Amino acid sequence: MARRFLLSGLLAIAALAQIHAAAAQSTSPPFPHLGGVLIAGSVQSSFGTTSYQQLVAKTGVAVIGLYPGWSSGGFTFNSAAAAVKALNPNIKLFPYTNLMEFEPGVGSSGSAYSPMWSVVNENNWFLRTAWPSGSITDADGNPQQGINQTNNAYLTWRAGWTAANEITSNWDGVYLDNVFWQPRVSADYSQSGSSQSPSAAGQTWRNGYAAYVKLLKAALPAGSLVIGNTADWGNGPIPGYNQMLNGGVMESLIGQSYSYETAGWATMMNAYKIIMNATISPGYQIFHQDGSTTDYRGMRYGLASCLLDNAYYYHSNNGADDTIPLYDEFSFNLGAPSAGPAGSATATYSNGGLTVWSQGVWRRDFANGIALVNPKGNGTQTVTLETSYKHLSGTQAPTVNSGQTVTTVTLNDRDGVILQRLTSQPVPDAPSLSVQ
C-alpha cells in the first residue's frame, strides 16, 4: 500500500539507548537491527532539527520523505543527511521517490514536482484507461494522477531527473515506492488502446520497474543502492523482480486488516522469507509493524519474529510514519547471531536453517541472549530452557522485563521475548545432525 506524506504532528521522543549510539562504531550493526520509515509530512520539518537527526542516526536503515530542494531549520537536503552520517557513518539513508503517480495539485506552480509534471503532461506519459486520450487513472486505485511507468521514454527521462534532483552525495541511494507485484486497477499499461486487468498487465508492470531500476542505477553515483516498497511481494510470483532491489520496506506486515499476519504467523513469515530471498544480499529490508506504541506484547511478538532473520525492525505509531517509538528491548545488545539449539550461527528463517524449537515456539540464538516467539494460534506455552537466562530489566512491561533469572518461560499466544545470556554462560551447542 502506498504511503502518503501525512500531515500529522511529531510525538515527543526520548533518546534511544546507548547500544544503538554505538552502531556508528562498527560496520556490523548490533541486533536488534533497527530501521525507520519516516515519510509523513511532519518529517519535512522534523528532519531539520538536531534532536530528530540524532534519533535517525541510531537506526541502521532509514527512509526519509523529503522533496527536491528541501530545506528546514538551516539544513539542506544534503547537510541534514551529512549531520546524520556524522553521528552514524554506517547508516543507510534513502530519500523517498515515487515513479508512478503525482499527488493532487502537484502540477501547480511552486510545487517541487511541477517541472516533472510539465514534462509528463507535454509527452502524454500519464496512465490512462485507454491510450492516448482516455481518462487519467492511478495504478494504486487512489485519487492521484497516475504515470505510465511501463513507457520506456518516461523511464529513461525519469532516471536522469531523479539522479539530478532527488539525491545528493550524502545519501546511499533512493527508496522507490509502490513496487507492486502487479498493478491494482485496470488501465492501458501496454498503450494498446484498451485497458488490461491487473493480472494481465502484471509482467508488463514488472518489466517497467525492472527496466527503471537498471536505468536508475546507471544514472546514480557508482555504488548507489535502490530499495523499494516490497509490501506485497509475497502475494504471488514475481518474475522479473528477483535480485533487482538492494532491500526495501515490508510495509505493514503486522497491524492492518490487509497485513500478512492477519492470515496467520506462518503466512507472514513465508512472505518475509520470499522477500528476503528476492533481494540482493545483505538485503536492507525493514520489517514494518503498525500498532499502538503501548502494546508491548504485540511489539515483542513483531520484534522477535523479525529477529528470526536479518531485517531492520520498525514499529510505527498506528501507521503514522513519522516517529521512532522506543522500547526496553532496543537498549539490549544481543550481539552477533550464534549457534544454538534451533540452528547454526548462519541459520535464518529465510535460508531454512532455523527450525521450530520447542512446543511450537521458535528461537534464535545470539552471543548475548536469545529471542523466542510464540506464533499466533499456538496457545499459551511454557518452555524449559537448557540453562538459566535472565529477563531484561525495563520499565514499560515490568512483569516481563523484570530482570529475573529463569529456567522456564511462559509465553502467551502471539507473544515474544528477549532473554539475556548470563555472563559466565557459554553459547549452547547447535544440535548435532546424523545422516541415516
| Residue pair 204/197 in contact by the 8 Å Cβ criterion | no
Q: What is the domain class of 334-429 according to CATH? A: mainly beta
Q: Helix crossing, 152-165 with 114-123: angle to 10°?
A: 160
pLDDT at 423: 77
pLDDT at 12: 29
pLDDT at 108: 77
Coil/strand/helix, residue 271: helix
Strand ranges (DSSP E) for 141-215?
145-146, 173-176
Provide the 10 A C-beta neighbour count for residue 416. Answer: 27
pLDDT at 14: 32
Give the CATH H-level superfamily of domain 18-103+148-331.
Aldolase class I (3.20.20.70)
pLDDT at 236: 80
Give the whole-angstrom CA distance, residue 35 versus residue 227: 13
| Residue pair 372/416 in contact by the 8 Å Cβ criterion | yes
Give the whole-angstrom CA distance, residue 90 versus residue 22: 11
Fill in the amino acid letter for 238. I
Give the whole-angstrom CA distance, residue 146 versus residue 51: 36
pLDDT at 107: 82
pLDDT at 21: 37
Kindly list the domain boundaries of the chain, sorted by start residue: 18-103+148-331, 334-429
Mean pLDDT by groups of 10 residues along the chain of 436 residues: 35 34 47 97 97 96 97 98 97 97 85 95 97 96 93 98 97 97 96 97 97 98 97 92 98 97 98 97 96 98 98 96 94 96 97 97 98 98 98 96 98 98 66 33
pLDDT at 22: 37
pLDDT at 109: 76
Give the H/E segment covering residue 33: none
Would you state the cell numbers that stand for residue 225, as one nine-digit string?
543502492
Give the whole-angstrom CA distance, residue 120 versus residue 128: 13
